[in-house]
């Protein structure tokens, strides 16, 4: 039985992870639920908050003294770095779904993975990770004969753009073409932009309503185009992936992994 800790437990993703863990209750059990110190959820039963009924796990404001094997983190970059340091020092494994990490924050998590096992992935969905592989195949097949655009849409509350998933799609495609995404990405177009360069990879971002998450990679040639699209209708798809990653990670001692490793696609 894997003991699961959840930070941001009262948030949208945190509650979904609690629900997903209940589906796999024969293999995983939520034992720790943490929220920010000023959260009104402190003291509440995390199962009741998630709508699955009380599971006798109250929400607390600290990881100190907590009993868990794997910590699941869908919070924000600065908090995730602190949680990674805690897990490193405590010898606990960690699943990180936080997006918007800058280079230094990512480096902190990579350094923690020298001591503990970490799954770091911009998207825990099985379908999205399959799309990563399909996008790689398409890029290698088309080569430099197509224009490539990545379009993503999320709810109005999302604070980073483009999404971590969109950026990862861009990295996968750029790598398949022998390009550096930092050099070829175009994140905005306005005014007299001139003719599009085939060497660029364009990004378009939509923030509206309650869209859970949509991503499309478009490969457009003369006379035809191919679109690889993933649409998420429920955050539970990410939560089930996170629980799957936690179960997989429980058998590893140290190292940095992603969902491609978890799913055997790497």
The CATH number of residue 148's host domain is 3.30.360.10
**Residue 186, CA atoms < 13 Å, CB-side half-sphere:** 14
Angle subtended by helix axes 236-249 and 12-23, to nearest 10: 60
Structurally, how many domains does the chain consist of?
2
Closest C-alpha to 46, from 37, 36, 58, 60: 58
For tokens 């923690």, the residue is 112
Same domain membership, residue 134 and residue 114: no
147-160 average pLDDT score: 96
pLDDT, tens digit, for every residue of 163-211? 999 999 999 999 999 999 999 999 989 999 999 999 999 999 999 999 9
Distance of CA 21 to the CA centre of its chain: 17
Concerning whether 240 is annotated as a catalytic residue, the answer is no
| pLDDT of 18 | 98
Residue 9 pLDDT greater than 90, yes or no: yes
Tokens of 19: 């629900």
Q: Are residues 131 and 226 in the same domain?
A: yes
Question: 212-242, pLDDT tens digit by residue?
Answer: 999 999 999 999 999 999 999 999 999 999 9
Q: What would the mean pLDDT of 147-173 be, rounded to a whole number?
A: 96
Q: Tell me, what's the pLDDT at 50?
A: 96
Q: Any idea which residue has 């209940």 for tokens? A: 22
Element (H, E) at 173: helix 164-176
Query: Chain-wide mean pLDDT for the chain?
Result: 96
Residues 95 and 187 in one domain: no
Q: Are residues 88 and 178 in the same domain?
A: no
User: Got the DSSP string for 207-224?
Assistant: E-TT--EEEEEEEEETTE
The yes-or-no answer on residue 158 being catalytic is yes
**249 shares its domain with 219:** no
The answer to whether residues 227 and 248 belong to one domain is no
pLDDT score of 99: 87
The three-class DSSP label of residue 110 is helix
Pair (115, 132) in one structural domain: no
pLDDT above 90: percentage of residues in the chain:
95
Cβ atoms within 10 Å, residue 151? 18
Domain co-membership, 153 together with 186? yes
- Residues 207, 187: one domain? yes
**Tokens matching residue 169:** 């799609």
Q: Cα separation of 177 and 169, whole Å?
A: 13
Same domain, 22 and 89: yes
Shared-domain flag, residues 101 and 156: no
Catalytic residue among 140, 155, 158, 240: 158
Q: Residue 246 is part of a domain; what is its CATH number?
A: 3.40.50.720
- Catalytic site residue from 154, 215, 230, 240: 154
pLDDT of residue 218: 98
Structural domain that includes position 90:
2-120+235-263
Same domain, 103 and 139: no
């Amino acid at each position: 039985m894997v003991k699961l800790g959840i930070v941001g437990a009262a948030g949208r993703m945190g509650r979904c992870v609690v629900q997903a863990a209940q589906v796999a209750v024969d293999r995983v059990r939520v034992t720790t639920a943490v929220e920010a110190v000023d959260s009104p959820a402190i003291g509440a039963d995390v199962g009741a908050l998630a709508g699955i009924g009380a599971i006798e796990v109250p929400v607390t404001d600290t990881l100190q003294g907590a009993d868990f094997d794997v910590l699941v983190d869908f919070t924000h970059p600065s908090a995730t770095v602190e949680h990674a340091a805690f897990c490193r020092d405590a010898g606990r494994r960690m699943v990180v779904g936080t997006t918007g990490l800058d280079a230094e924050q990512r480096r902190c998590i990579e350094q923690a993975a020298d001591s503990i096992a970490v799954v770091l992935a911009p998207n825990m969905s099985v379908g999205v990770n399959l799309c990563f592989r399909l996008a790689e195949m398409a890029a290698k097949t088309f080569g430099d004969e197509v224009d490539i655009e990545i379009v993503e849409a999320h709810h109005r509350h999302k604070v980073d753009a483009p999404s971590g998933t969109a950026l990862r799609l861009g990295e996968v495609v750029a790598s398949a073409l022998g390009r550096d995404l930092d050099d070829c990405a175009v994140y905005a177009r306005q005014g007299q932009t001139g003719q599009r360069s085939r060497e660029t990879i364009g990004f378009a971002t939509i923030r509206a309503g309650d869209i859970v998450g949509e991503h499309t990679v478009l490969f457009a040639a003369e006379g035809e185009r191919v679109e690889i699209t993933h649409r998420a209708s429920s955050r539970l798809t990410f939560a089930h992936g996170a629980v799957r990653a936690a179960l997989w990670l429980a058998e590893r001692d140290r190292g940095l992994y992603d969902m491609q490793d978890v799913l055997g696609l790497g």
